[in-house]
Amino acid sequence: MTGKISYLDGLRGVAAINVMIMHFFVALAPAMVYGSQYPSHFGSLDLIFSTTPLGLIGEGNFSVCIFFVLSGYVLTQKYFKTKDNSIIISSAVRRYLRLFIPVFASVILSYLLASAGLYRYYIETMMVSAGSNYRHYWTFAPDILEAIKQAVWTSFFF
C-alpha cells in the first residue's frame, strides 16, 4: 500500500464537513446544537434537531476525534514505512501551502460576518461551549489585523 487510502481520506472529508456544519450551527443557530438554552430561530425544528438522532449531523466533537485519529494514521503512514525525516518536513510545507488559501478565506469570511453583526449569539455560545475559559470573549470586537494573524500564523501553529 504505497498510495493514498482513499476510503479513509473520504471518511476524513465527511468528518471535516460535519465539523464545519457544527460550527455553522453554533455561530448562527445555536439552539440546533444546545437545544432550549438559546432562542429558537426555526420554531420547533431547532429542538427536534437537537434532541433526536438528527442532531448527530451537527455533533462536531465526535467528528473532530475521528478526523484527528484518521489524520494521524494516514499522514504518518509513509514516514513510518521509510523512516525518512524529509517526508515529514515536505508534507508540512505542502500542507501549509495547500491549506493557506481556504483557511485565509474562511477566517476573513468569519471576520466579515462578525463585523456585519451576524454572530448574534457569539458571546453566549462561547460561554456555554467553552465555559469560564473564554471570559475574555465578552469584549470581542472584530479586528482585521487579528483576523489576518489568525489566518496566516496562529491557526496553523498554535
Q: Are residues 119 and 138 in the same domain?
A: yes
- Distance separating alpha carbons of residues 112 and 119, to the nearest angstrom: 10
Note down the domain range covering 110. 84-158
Residues 127 and 75 occupy one common structural domain: no
Sign of CA dihedral 135, 122, 157, 6: positive
- Are the C-beta atoms of 45 and 3 separated by less than 8 Å? no
* Start-to-end C-alpha separation, the chain: 33
Closest CA to 104 of 133, 138, 144: 144
Same domain? For 17 and 56 the reply is: yes
In this structure, the answer to whether residues 50 and 106 fall within a common structural domain is no
Task: Note whether 4 and 78 are same-domain residues.
Answer: yes
- Do 123 and 70 share a structural domain? no
Q: Which three cell numbers stand for residue 119?
A: 454572530
Are 3 and 77 within one domain? Answer: yes
Q: Could you tell me if 53 and 20 lie in one domain?
A: yes
pTM for this predicted structure: 0.61
Q: Residue 63: left if φ>0, alpha if ψ -120 to 50, beta else—which one? A: alpha
* Domain final residue, candidates 83, 110, 145: 83
Q: pLDDT tens digits, the chain, 158 residues: what are they? A: 456 788 998 999 999 898 888 877 777 777 777 776 767 777 777 777 777 787 776 677 888 899 999 988 888 888 888 888 898 889 889 989 999 999 999 999 989 988 888 776 666 666 666 555 555 555 667 889 999 999 999 988 88
72 shares its domain with 133? no
Q: What is the pLDDT of residue 43?
A: 76
Query: CA nearest 156: which of 111, 94, 110, 112?
Result: 94
Q: What pLDDT is recorded for position 91? A: 87
What's 116's DSSP letter?
A: T
Q: Where are the alpha helices (DSSP H) in 116-140?
A: 122-130
In this predicted structure, what is the pLDDT of residue 131?
56
How far is it, in rounded angstroms, from Cα 151 to Cα 96? 11
Distance of CA 7 to the CA centre of its chain: 21
**One domain for residues 32 and 18:** yes
Overall number of domains in the chain = 2
